[in-house]
Amino acid sequence: MSAANYRSFAEDWERRATVRTRPRRLLEHDDRLIYPLCRQPLALSAAFLEHCPQWRDFVLVQSFYKFINDVVIFETEIVGKTARSIARNRFSLPFPFACRVDAMAVVVDEDYHALVAMDFLQQAVDMTGIHPIDLPGQIELSHALPAAQALAPPRLRDAVALIGVAIAENTVTHDVAAFSKDDSIKPSVRGLMADHLFDEGRHAQFWTQLVRLYWQAASPADRDSIAETLPTFLTHYLTNELQKGFDLRLIEHLDVSVDVRHALRDEVAALDFPITRHHPLLGNILGFLHHSSLLQTPSVAQALSHYLPESGRPA
């Protein structure tokens, strides 16, 4: 692949990466929330508000722990792993050296994000005295990538991983941005998210450029093979089943009556976010697919026609 159209972010990283510029953030002991209520429907459900609102802070702290845990898995086991293999030239797709240098900067950033997240988790335990319940060992991406890769020929599985990571990095940027602007939560947590966002915007551009480089060089047959994997990837990536599972486990730790527990379980089970073109993350995903040039490929547009607005569907 040619580096002629690749713009390195190495100079920006030297000046602006949060690992180089931010002091340690400390969790405040104030009356603000540690996790946004709007991101935890269990704490807003009718049964919860009627029967056990005193458990709100416990639920929000545990939800914060899950969020931290998800960040660590995402940054180290998935994004960092893929970036490291590119940096070390162990990816099946060869990238120019400038891309590999930037990939190593991503590794450093992501490991730092994981470190800061773990530090915040420990601070929260020390401050609240609330210890994490059993946290999930995987995130949605942990299922989505292998499921999509299994549909591709072995030689294309790294390419599928690259595209999947790029999709995730572009959607997590939107998610972190919303978190960082929520005035109901502690300033240090919002600052943590703002620091994260500062790096993730650069990462999203990096992965988009890499996918564009790959896609320009890929053969029509390879493009069509990868297109067939994308619906499966989105089905696993956009599901809320892991969140439901966590919330059901969380309910088991509440000191409530059997009837209330059943009511809470029923409300969690009823929460559903259909994976349609109206899914809240789909706009960002389609934006990435457009900017990386994938969506201009007929087989990709056809494979994802179910998710496209009427005006964007292939004839």
Residue 72 maps to which CATH number?
Answer: 1.10.620.20
Q: What is the pLDDT of residues 27-51, one digit of tens each?
A: 999 999 999 998 899 999 999 999 9
**What confidence category does residue 142 fall into, taking pLDDT thresholds of 50, 70 and 90?**
very high
Q: What is the pLDDT of residues 261-271, one digit of tens each?
A: 999 999 998 87
Q: Is residue 285 part of a domain?
A: yes
Q: Is residue 25 part of a domain?
A: no
Give CA 104 to chain center in angstroms: 20
Give the per-residue pLDDT at 23: 83
Count of domains in the chain? 1
**What confidence category does residue 195 fall into, taking pLDDT thresholds of 50, 70 and 90?**
confident
CB of 36 closer than 8 Å to CB of 182: yes
Q: Is residue 42 part of a domain?
A: no
Give the per-residue pLDDT at 276: 67
Q: Is residue 12 part of a domain?
A: no
Report, as an integer, the average pLDDT of 60-88. Answer: 94
Tally of CB atoms within 10 A around 47: 20
Q: Is residue 38 part of a domain?
A: no
Answer whether 0.85 is exceeded by the pTM.
yes
Q: Is residue 39 part of a domain?
A: no
CB of 194 closer than 8 Å to CB of 12: no
CB of 289 closer than 8 Å to CB of 304: yes
Residue 283 has pLDDT above 90, yes or no: no
Q: Is residue 195 part of a domain?
A: yes
Q: Is residue 118 part of a domain?
A: yes
DSSP string covering 243-305: HHHHHHHHHHTS---HHHHHHHHHHHHH-----STT-TTHHHHHHHHHHTTGGGSHHHHHHTG
**What confidence category does residue 11 fall into, taking pLDDT thresholds of 50, 70 and 90?**
confident
Domain of 111 in residue numbering reads as: 50-312
Q: What is the pLDDT of residues 131-141, one digit of tens each?
A: 999 999 999 99
- Average of per-residue pLDDT values in the chain: 89
